[in-house]
Amino acid sequence: MQPMSIDRLETPCLLVDEARMTRNIDRLKARLARLGPTLRPHLKTCKSVDIARRLMPSARGPATVSTLKEAEEFAAAGVRDIMYAVGIAPAKLDRVLALRRQGVDLSIILDGREQAVAVAASSRAAGDRIPTLIEIDCDDHRAGVRPDDPLLVQIGRDLHEGGAELRGVITHAGGSYDAIGVAALERAAEQERAGTVAAAKALLEAGLPCPVVSVGSTPTAHFARDLTGVTEVRAGVYVFFDLVMAGIGVCGVDDIALSVLTSVIGHQRGKGWILVDAGWMAMSRDRGTANQKVDQGYGLACDVSGNVHPDLIMVETNQEHGILALRPGSVAALPELPVGTLLRILPNHACATAAQHDRYRATDGGLVTAVWPRFSGW
């Protein structure tokens, strides 16, 4: 497209600072090149073919997805190595098999024997050994089998002897989102590595295969010092970063590539409020920084060029209204922002904010240089 000025966009809309995004992508790429494992980027954050191609090692993958809709969309765009990294519901196996018949190496994950028996039965019925990874619980935060639980080997046998392909083990150190500071992040990364490698060892010692040892979260991917025994790393939100990641020290505020462009639509001067046309519909209801040291409300306000307005945050939202005010205790001056002024709001959680929009506007300074469609749904 012909570059156009940001001033000509309708608000609210979603912006991606392409230079920052490229810096974020290159940073993780360089780290993993040093550490060894392959990067299998998680495409649930971007849900965009244009951005996915910048993340993956090649146009064919590998990639991680959180829905079968993502798997289908990226497969249609030529991706051939995809992991669907949410515990499988047996009713979804027909869609999995349909994608595999199209030549996509689609793998799935699970953490229970009921699921393993169902996957093995589907594999036999379809004459297709569905590649399956066992989800490991490395930090007690959500799903998965503990590495030392005898259930792990039982599930492995259900799969391997039942007719599926036991491809390996996978974990997600979701607990790392609560780690703050370098030492805590390094510990979370080592806990994730050690637990997953221990699970792989248990399978191998039981005479079962375990070619893939997959770990991943944006915080641990950026703070792991050693990934011995790990074959691949997954991460998603690093492509944009966000205020939650800045709050735990994975990035700086000036690394955040995603923002919502909004217009000032009114003032309540007695209360120190500036009203804008980005509410929770544009920002999402995510309050991920609420329990961090610095609560950013629903987002941090910047001028149209991306310079932070000190302490100006979105303190409240309705569906199509955002209320900006100085954060409690601030001694900054409330900027004078007439009706019509354009602002950029940095989000708490890039995955949630991006999900509220159907396209990205790529920006270079004050110019829009590309429109990248984004899909949603299941």
267 binds a second copy (CB under 8 A): yes
- Environment class of residue 143 by beta-carbon count within 10 Å: exposed (0-12), middle (13-18) or buried (19+)? middle
296 binds a second copy (CB under 8 A): no
Of 11 and 369, which has the nearer Cβ to a second copy? 11
Question: In the bound complex, what is the minimum distance in angstroms from residue 373's beta carbon to a second copy?
Answer: 12
Q: Among 36, 181, 266, 366, which residue sits at the site for a second copy (rule: CB under 8 A)?
A: 266
Of 203 and 275, which has the nearer Cβ to a second copy? 275
67 binds a second copy (CB under 8 A): yes
Of 31 and 146, which has the nearer Cβ to a second copy? 146
Are 312 and 332 within 8 A, CB to CB? yes
The stretch among 20-28, 29-37, 247-255, 356-364 that binds a second copy (CB under 8 A) is 356-364
Q: Among 32, 118, 213, 227, which residue sits at the site for a second copy (rule: CB under 8 A)?
A: 118
The interface with a second copy within residues 72-91 (CB under 8 A) comprises 86-91
Which residues lie across from 81 on neighbouring strands? 105
Question: In the bound complex, what is the minimum distance in angstroms from residue 225's beta carbon to a second copy?
Answer: 26
Residue 93, C-beta contacts closer than 8 angstroms, at least 6 positions apart: 118, 119, 122, 130
4 binds a second copy (CB under 8 A): no
Are 125 and 151 within 8 A, CB to CB? no
Task: Report the 3 state secondary structure along the chain.
Answer: CCCEEHHHCCCCEEEEEHHHHHHHHHHHHHHHHHHCCEECCECCCCCCHHHHHHHCCECCECEEECCHHHHHHHHHCCCCEEEECCCCCHHHHHHHHHHHHCCCEEEEEECCHHHHHHHHHHHHHHCCCCEEEEEECCCCCCCCECCCCCHHHHHHHHHHHHCCEEEEEEECCHHHHHCCCHHHHHHHHHHHHHHHHHHHHHHHHCCCCCCEEEEECHHHHHHCCCCCCCCEEECCHHHCCCHHHHHHCCCCHHHCCEEEEEEEEEEEHHHCEEEECCCHHHHCCCCCCCCCCCCCECCEEEECCCCEEEEEEEEEECCCCEEEEECCCCCCCCCCCCCCCEEEEECCCHHHHHCCCCEEEEEECCEEEEEEECCCCC
Question: In the bound complex, what is the minimum distance in angstroms from residue 361's beta carbon to a second copy?
Answer: 13
How many residues form the binding site for a second copy (CB under 8 A)? Answer: 57
Q: Among 26, 285, 332, 364, which residue sits at the site for a second copy (rule: CB under 8 A)?
A: 285
**Phi/psi class of residue 144: alpha, beta or left (left: φ > 0; alpha: ψ in -120 to 50)?**
left
265 binds a second copy (CB under 8 A): yes
Question: In the bound complex, what is the minimum distance in angstroms from residue 335's beta carbon to a second copy?
Answer: 16
The stretch among 18-26, 28-36, 280-288, 361-369 that binds a second copy (CB under 8 A) is 280-288
Which residue, among 238, 153, 245, has the nearest Cα to 204 in the 3D structure?
153
377 binds a second copy (CB under 8 A): yes
Q: Among 35, 97, 198, 281, which residue sits at the site for a second copy (rule: CB under 8 A)?
A: 281
292 binds a second copy (CB under 8 A): no
Residue holding tokens 């205020």? 243
336 binds a second copy (CB under 8 A): no
259 binds a second copy (CB under 8 A): no
Q: Among 16, 244, 264, 300, which residue sits at the site for a second copy (rule: CB under 8 A)?
A: 264
Of 126 and 355, which has the nearer Cβ to a second copy? 355
In the shown chain, the binding pattern of residues 135 to 174 toward a second copy, with x for contact by CB under 8 A and - for none, equals --x----xx------------------------------x
358 binds a second copy (CB under 8 A): yes
41 binds a second copy (CB under 8 A): no
268 binds a second copy (CB under 8 A): yes
Q: Among 323, 325, 337, 345, which residue sits at the site for a second copy (rule: CB under 8 A)?
A: 323
List contacts with a second copy (CB under 8 A).
Answer: 10-13, 44, 66-67, 86-92, 95, 110-112, 114-115, 118, 137, 142-143, 174, 263-268, 275, 277, 280-282, 284-287, 318-321, 323, 338-340, 351-352, 355-358, 376-378
